[in-house]
Amino acid sequence: MMITNYLESRGRLIEQALLGAFPAAAGLFAQHIAAMRYSLLAGGKRIRPILCLAAAESVSTSAELPTRVLPVACALECIHTYSLIHDDLPAMDNDDLRRGRATNHKVHGEAGAILAGDGLLTFAFELLAGELLTEVDPAARLRIIHLIARAAGPFGMVGGQALDIAHEGQPVTFEELRAIHAHKTGALLTASVLAGALAVGCDDAQLAALTIYGEQLGLAFQIVDDLLNATATTEQLGKAAGSDAARGKATYPAFFGLDGTRARAAEAVAAARLALRDFDDRAEALRGLADYVLTRAN
């Protein structure tokens, strides 16, 4: 499988689903909806929703992608986009550029950006609890909602961001760095994998293997993020390069240097692939995504 072709085809599916789920609005809420769509439809890698689809395909008995997974994928992208909008705010990372264009608060103001993020987060759970997911077993749907809420909240992504901010400019142990990465980035990536599998149905052994895959992939993703922030240009990243060092953030290159960081990322990808050893060819997309995370340029 050519992973670039898979990323393109699944990316198109997700774009169409996002447009369908979140059409432009006129009238009373037009400005607020426009602020939400500004960031949600700005492109990006769509890794989380694509992981959700790939995980569903890895355990599905159907030859076709079950359409019931798409609302879950869209919800994950809404949550991820909300986190980017809020991360970019002056009170947090104070970034001016995201996905190659002005950050949300630079266009819609700080209040508009905060509300756009709030709206996307809550809309995600409207998708997960709404009629588009009626085909999913009710117990599985409840499990998906709980899983994603846990991964996005104070014991997951939000907690990781809080730890990251609290440790800026402070001495950090490697254990603390791993905890920051596991919560800030890894939790929602792992949830993306598990939610896709749960939406179509999977057994406990598959879920356990996919949990390891998601955790190792999330680790690799954040390690490569650290590496790219230290080595790539702003034009390549579509956001400010070198910002981690400028803010005194703990990163893998600060602990291990560039070569050591690359080695750690490769180890995590190898562990992610190993977790799929009992899966058949239906998991080729997941294997390819692990390799992509290691070699991506932004």
CATH of the domain at 98: 1.10.600.10
Residue 247 is given by DSSP the state T
Question: How many helices (H) and strands (E) would you count in the chain?
Answer: 14, 2
Give yes or no for residue 1 having a pLDDT over 70: no
Q: Give me the residues paired with residue 101 across strands.
A: 98
Average pLDDT, the chain: 93
Give per-residue pLDDT as tens, 114-136: 999 999 999 999 999 998 787 88
Contact 223, 293 (CB under 8 A): no
Give yes or no for residue 286 having a pLDDT over 80: yes
Contact 139, 183 (CB under 8 A): no
Give yes or no for residue 239 having a pLDDT over 80: no
- Work out whether the CA dihedral 168, 169, 175, 176 comes out positive or negative: negative
The pLDDT value recorded for residue 252 is 93
Contact 86, 120 (CB under 8 A): no
Amino acid at 183: H
The pLDDT value recorded for residue 68 is 86
- Angle value at C-alpha 232, between 231 and 234, nearest 5 degrees: 135
**Nearest CA among 222, 236, 21, 208 for reference residue 124:** 21
Residue-range definition of the domain harbouring residue 221 = 3-295
Give yes or no for residue 9 having a pLDDT over 80: yes
Give per-residue pLDDT as tens, 44-81: 899 999 999 999 999 998 867 778 899 999 999 999 99
Outline where 183-240 has alpha helix (H). Answer: 187-200, 204-231, 234-237
* 204 — pLDDT class (breaks 50, 70, 90): very high
- Stretch 207-228: mean pLDDT, rounded? 96
Residue 153 is given by DSSP the state S
- Stretch 83-95: mean pLDDT, rounded? 95
The pLDDT value recorded for residue 13 is 94
pTM: 0.94
By the 10 Å C-beta count (0-12 exposed, 13-18 middle, 19+ buried), 222 is classed as: buried
- Stretch 267-294: mean pLDDT, rounded? 97
% of the chain exceeding 70 in pLDDT: 99
- Work out whether the CA dihedral 126, 131, 135, 137 comes out positive or negative: positive
Please count the structural domains in the chain.
1
E-only strand ranges, the chain = 97-98, 101-102
